[in-house]
Amino acid sequence: MTDDIIVVREAEAKGEAYTRGYDRFKGMDPETAADADPAYFSDSAAWANHVLPTLRCMSGYRDAGYGTWQVDGEIALVENGDEDDEPAEAVTMLASDLQGEVVDAWYEGAYAAIDDAIDGRSTRP
């Protein structure tokens, strides 16, 4: 019997999370953006039902039919700088250990979008 292991590329997971956070808050009215705080968004149904499950999926969680992407497990993480190696070297870890970094990347993107809206820019540099 063989076990399957999910391979997660660190740069891709964090980059996608950043982009999703940015896209969620980009183009806000500057006055609205000045009072916006993505931390409050994490108390919403959209966070619980859409954003967080997507971030868990990008972190390597498994989907088992009860809830969405809630099964933690071992992943093979291809760290930044090793993506182009053939074969790529990876470290094993739990998906839950990576999830915090992926969520942080989402918040970084969200705050960058808010800063851009306040500064009058509407697209990511």
Confidence (pLDDT) at 2: 57
Query: Residue ranges per domain, the chain?
Result: 6-119
- What letters, b where the CB count within 10 A reaches 16 and e where it falls short, cover 70-103? eebeebbbbeeebeeeeeeebeeeebeebbeebb
Q: For the whole model, what pTM was predicted?
A: 0.86
Q: Which amino acid is at 14?
A: K
Which residue from 2, 4, 21, 10 is spatially nearest to 99, judged by alpha carbons? 10
- Residues 114 and 24: beta-carbon distance below 8 Å: no
- Calculate the CA 34 to chain-centre distance: 24
Kindly give the confidence (pLDDT) of every residue in the chain, 125 residues in length, as a single tens digit, with 9 standing for 90 and above.
557 889 899 999 999 999 999 999 998 888 888 888 998 888 899 999 999 999 999 999 988 766 678 888 999 999 876 566 677 788 999 999 999 999 999 999 999 999 999 887 655 54
